[in-house]
Amino acid sequence: MASCAARGRAELSKAQAVRRIGILGGTFDPVHIGHLRSALEVAEFMGLDELRLLPNARPPHRDTPQVAAEDRLAMVREAVQGVACLSVDARELERDKPSYTIETLESIRAELADNDQLFLVLGWDAFCGLPTWHRWEELLQHCHILVLQRPDADVEPPDELRNLLAARSESDPAAMSGPAGNISFVWQTPLAVSATQIRQLLASGKSVRFLVPDAVLAYIEAHELYRAPN
Ligand code: ATP
């Protein structure tokens, strides 16, 4: 099946082709149409060969209803089935502890060609928290950062990020060149859906139809996930 980018760049010979890979991390507890629409729009807008949804191991402090990592992963797999540009990267769930993003990037980078482009997709809130991340100053050695910004958002970055933005931001996301090193913004209106809302609906016995793909709904029902304890 042709990817988003392959359809537009079919004439490129294999020798010339530089792959453009995006990564969108999340707990996906469960994956929903907000994640999927956003991922698809980014992939198409950026002409990515592949945008990987990367389920995170759940940090121990999260007090959400527990579904097994295998279930979160299975639902993401169901959700992207047959979608050309979207795929799933399970590496963080295959480790026995939560991973730092820098380690995940190093691991992905080791599997790519030197000139392949890697884009880490982050919401504005996550981006603003970057200075608290483990070895955050090394992130741009491995990837570009694509910040998803709401058109109506306040765009004042925290002080710690001002210098980085001044040095590394590229106003046109499509113009980010090379394998890594730039930051750019994509303006996107998110659908008003959250996994929290979905868990709450299910816990109160309500339907989440049309908030998740039908295959995810079928999985939730078959495995009786997110139900309130009797
Ligand atoms: P929760 O309600 O459990 O906090 P969530 O719905 O925000 O979950 P996450 O798995 O935490 O989902 O999010 C993964 C990524 O998807 C994050 O970058 C988050 O900003 C983004 N995201 C979440 N909801 C939406 C949405 N409705 N539209 C676009 N992106 C979203």
pLDDT of residue 9: 54
Residue 34 CA, ligand 1 centroid: distance in Å:
7
Confidence band for 191, pLDDT divided at 50, 70 and 90 = very high
Atom of ligand 1 nearest to the CA of 191: 27
CB 52 within 8 A of CB 22: yes
Site to substitute for ligand 1 among 36, 38, 127, most atoms within 8 A of C-beta: 38
In 3-state terms, what secondary structure has residue 50?
Answer: strand
Please indicate whether residue 193, judged by its CB atom, sits closer than 6 Å to ligand 1: yes
Mean pLDDT of 24-33: 97
Q: Give the pLDDT band of residue 230 (cuts 50, 70, 90).
A: low
Please name the residues in contact with 194: beta carbons below 8 A apart, sequence gap of 6 or more.
Answer: 32, 34
User: 121 CA to middle of ligand 1, Å?
Assistant: 12
Query: What integer pLDDT is reported at residue 117 of this predicted model?
Result: 98
45: Cβ–Cβ under 8 A, 6 or more apart, which residues? 173, 186
pLDDT of residue 228: 84
Euclidean distance between CA atoms 230 and 209, whole angstroms: 23
**194 CB within 6 A, ligand 1:** yes
Q: If pLDDT is split at 50, 70 and 90, which confidence band does 170 have? A: very high
Instruction: Verify whether ligand 1 is closer than 6 Å to residue 226 (CB atom).
Output: no
Minimum mean pLDDT range among 1-15, 76-90, 172-186: 1-15
Residue 101 Cβ < 6 Å to ligand 1:
no
Average pLDDT over residues 200-206: 96
Q: Does residue 195 line the site of ligand 1, with CB under 6 A? A: yes
Q: Would you say the CB of residue 123 lies under 6 angstroms from ligand 1?
A: yes
Q: Is the pLDDT of residue 4 over 80?
A: no
pLDDT attached to residue 64: 62
pLDDT value of position 69: 93
Question: How far, in Å, from the CA of 14 to the mean position of ligand 1?
Answer: 35
Once rounded to an integer, what is the mean pLDDT over residues 54-76? 84
Measured from the Cα of 190, ligand 1's closest atom is: 28
Strand partners, 209: 212
**Cα(194) to centroid(ligand 1), Å:** 6
| Tens-place pLDDT, residues 35-61 | 999 999 999 999 999 999 999 997 766
Tokens at 87, concatenated: 């795929």
Position 137 pLDDT exceeds 60: yes
Using the mean position of ligand 1's atoms as its centre, give its distance from the Cα of residue 12 in Å.
35
Locate the ligand 1 atom nearest the alpha carbon of residue 122 and give its number: 18
Predicted TM-score (pTM) of the model is 0.92
Q: What is the pLDDT of residue 97?
A: 84
Which pairing describes strands 86-88 and 50-55: parallel, antiparallel, or unpaired?
A: parallel
- Pocket flag, ligand 1, residue 188 (CB < 6 Å): no
For the chain, the first-to-last Cα distance in angstroms comes to 45
Mean pLDDT for the stretch of residues 63-85: 91
The average pLDDT across 141-150 equals 96
Assign 19 a pLDDT band (cuts: 50, 70, 90).
very high
pLDDT score for 3: 60
Which pLDDT value is given to residue 62?
A: 65
The CB of 26 under 6 Å from ligand 1? The reply is: yes
pLDDT reported for residue 37:
97
